[in-house]
Chains A and B, each alone.
Chain A
């Protein structure tokens, strides 16, 4: 169903997570969605913040990227498209997510969605699935990426570059 061989990456510290998010930011196009899972404190919002700030910075813009936990959605404009940063934790029903206007946003914005399980069956097709979890060290994280749309194959080459420079390590195939 989803990618046959998920990409598992070892991120030793928050700086590396930030660099990876920055690298990913350049690869997203309007209509692309990242569904980001992981428990509290796994670094989901920090990943999204680095991603959004990288896109804003390349447009010469600068803005706070606060946690969307209470506001549910924070939106940004990077000059090319809107960026939606959503945290669905507080929602219980997929219909509520749709009430937020996410469905339309999936079409033409870049959407970063934390706690995407709240969407139920309403997951957008072609989305990139990511999962963050605690690594062996306090500051380290393991990021697992899965996809079924071939367009995300470009992530493999992007991460390969970072692996070569020793910044991140691939932790085997599932």
Chain B
């Protein structure tokens, strides 16, 4: 507990263990507004003292007829309530905090600004230091919050809006191996559900229907599987599903429950195959690093899909790597992950000041070349 000597010299006289950090996390970059408090003492696992998410839609995959809470005003109002609740549930006051961590991007400018302004206001009023962090880093570092996973590990971030493979070398050091060149799988699930008249959120609806279906009846494409690398494409899969549906309707005059289940099973099998094969390629690259605790971790709402999890587990086993999926509440958008990223930054001495600005665009890894829609790397001829 008292292993950080430098801190003992300057630590204030409190009953808190030396080196302990208690941070408030704020998240408002997309649909949800969230606040959480995480405490960490060096050598001990971090503790989530509270985590409040307002406006959360089930499984985060909600889409179609679900109004997103995008208004900056709504975020601002909810942030205040979330902070109050987070403090109350943790049994703390602002005085008990060591700092604030806030999502500064990427995301919708209004929402991100609401969070950043809230952090600045709290800081100005209390004197607490704060740091602006990357929302995607929050997801990518969640395995360290939940399982104290050592670097480097492989992360598959797969949700409604994101799909990418990252090697996480450090809390601020990410190598992107590849990602979707068009839609994310969560979006493909939701749109497929809509095309088949299934309820939203589409992920659980398609999974439930697929369970009853025959995945071999409709062979849907596995986009980009024939190309090397870890890039993925799911937009064409959705279109292929649409065509197959229309063909069945044209031939039989309608869509039976069995047709729908079989279409869902065929679709889900294609997503599983693509994610499994691309994970295989990502793992091959990652294993070359001889990581001390080889692990592929997932984050994002799509990680809730049972067959996808099973496929990833199988692939991990092929490489002698562990498969790690944090609890779903920490896979989807939340502020505990933001507080944790803040703790990692605080430990490295990072702080921001009142000049912190929102960054609507903020890729985790700027070094990897972008993919063009055609799947070819590099500038168009």
Where the two chains meet, the residues of A that have a C-beta atom closer than 8 Å to any C-beta of B are 18, 40-41, 45-46, 49-50, 53-54, 57, 60, 62-67, 69-76, 89-93, 96, 99-101, 138
Q: Is the CB of A91 within 8 A of B67?
A: yes
**Which A-B residue pairs are the 4 nearest by beta carbons?**
A70-B161, A70-B160, A41-B239, A99-B71
- Indicate whether B184 reaches chain A with its CB closer than 8 angstroms: yes
Closest residue of chain B to A95 (Cβ to Cβ) is B71
In the complex, the answer to whether A100 meets B108 with C-beta atoms within 8 Å is: yes
Complex CA gap A71/B63 in Å reads 11
Residues of chain B with a CB closer than 8 A to A18's CB:
373-374
With a cutoff of 8 Å between Cβ atoms, the chain A residues found around residue B242 in the complex are 40-41
Please give the distance in Å from B188's CB to the nearest CB on chain A: 9
Inter-chain contact B108/A71, CB cutoff 8 Å: yes
Q: Are A67 and B370 in contact (CB under 8 A)?
A: no
Question: How long is the Cα–Cα vector from A74 to B73 in the complex, in angstroms?
Answer: 21
Residues A100 and B373 in contact, CB atoms below 8 Å apart = no
Q: Which residues of B contact A89 (CB under 8 A)?
A: 64
CB distance from A159 to the nearest CB of B (A): 20
Whether A49 contacts B373 by the Cβ 8 Å rule is yes
User: In the assembled complex, how far is the CB of residue A10 from the closest CB belonging to chain B, in whole angstroms?
Assistant: 18
Of the candidates A74, A76, A92, the one whose C-beta lies within 8 Å of that of B67 is: A92
A60–B380 Cα gap in the complex (Å)? 11
Interface of A is mostly: loop
Interfacial chain A residues near B373, Cβ < 8 Å: 18, 46, 49-50, 53, 65
A-B contact pairs, 19 of them (CB 8 A): A40-B191, A49-B373, A62-B369, A66-B161, A66-B180, A67-B161, A67-B184, A70-B30, A70-B159, A70-B186, A71-B30, A73-B108, A74-B361, A90-B67, A92-B67, A96-B68, A96-B70, A99-B70, A99-B72
Contact (Cβ within 8 A) B63 A70:
yes
* Interface set, chain B 88-137, CB cutoff 8 A to A: 107-110
User: Which residues on A sit within 8 Å (CB–CB) of B182?
Assistant: 45-46, 49, 66-67
Smallest Cβ-Cβ distance to B109: which chain A residue: A101
Instruction: Report the separation of the CA atoms of residues A18 and B378 in the bound assembly, to the nearest whole angstrom.
Output: 16
A62 vs B73: C-alpha distance in the bound complex, in angstroms?
A: 34
Q: How far, in angstroms, from A75 to B235 measured CA to CA in the complex?
A: 20
Question: Measured between alpha carbons, how far is A69 from B110 in the docked complex, in Å?
Answer: 17
Within the assembled complex, what's the spacing in Å between the Cα atoms of A41 and B181? 16
A70-B194 Cα distance, complex, nearest whole Å: 15
Given contacts A45-B182, A99-B71, contact A40 B243 (CB under 8 A): no
Select from chain A the residue with minimum beta-carbon distance to B183. Answer: A67
Are B239 and A62 touching (Cβ within 8 A)?
A: no
Shortest Cβ distance from A93 into B: residue: B67
Q: Does B40 contact A (CB under 8 A)?
A: no
The docked-state distance in angstroms from the alpha carbon of A76 to that of B370 is: 13
- Taking beta carbons and an 8 Å cutoff, which residues of B are in contact with A? 30, 63-68, 70-73, 107-110, 159-162, 179-184, 186-187, 191, 194-195, 235, 238-239, 242-243, 360-361, 369-374, 378-380
Q: Would A69 and B187 count as touching, CB distance under 8 A?
A: yes
Minimum CB–CB distance for A109 against chain B, Å: 12
Separation in Å of the A28 CB from the closest CB of chain B? Answer: 18
Chain B residues with CB under 8 A of A76: 361
Looking at A41, A64, A65, A99, which has the most chain B CB atoms within 10 Å of its CB? A64
How long is the Cα–Cα vector from A65 to B162 in the complex, in angstroms?
A: 12
Contacts of A41 in B (CB 8 A): 191, 195, 238-239, 242
Report Cα–Cα, A74/B370, bound state, in Å: 15
Q: How far is the CA of A89 from the CA of B161 in the complex (A)?
A: 14
Contact of A69 among B67, B72, B183, B378 (CB under 8 A): B183
Closest to B60 in A: A70
- Give every chain A residue within 8 A of B369 (Cβ-Cβ): 62
A53 to chain B, nearest CB (A): 6
Known: A41-B195, A60-B379. 20 other contacts (CB 8 A): A40-B195, A41-B242, A45-B182, A45-B183, A53-B373, A62-B370, A62-B372, A62-B378, A64-B370, A67-B187, A67-B235, A69-B63, A70-B187, A71-B107, A72-B108, A73-B360, A90-B64, A90-B67, A96-B70, A101-B110
- Cα(A57)–Cα(B372), bound, Å: 10
**B79: min CB distance to chain A, Å:** 16
- Inter-chain contacts of B160 with A (CB < 8 A): 69-70
Q: From residue A118, how far is it (CB to closest CB) to chain B in Å?
A: 11
Determine the chain A residues whose CB is within 8 A of the CB of B380 once the complex forms.
53-54, 57
* Chain B residue nearest in CB terms to A67: B183
Contacts of B374 in A (CB 8 A): 18
Q: Which of B66, B73, B372 contacts A53 (CB 8 A)?
A: B372
Contact between chains at A40 and B183 (CB < 8 Å):
no
**Residue from the list A49, A66, A67, A75 in contact with B360, Cβ < 8 A:** A75
Closest Cβ neighbor of B106 among chain A residues: A71
| Bound form: Cα–Cα A91–B108 in Å | 14
Q: Give the shortest distance, in Å, between A63 (CB) and chain B (any CB).
A: 5
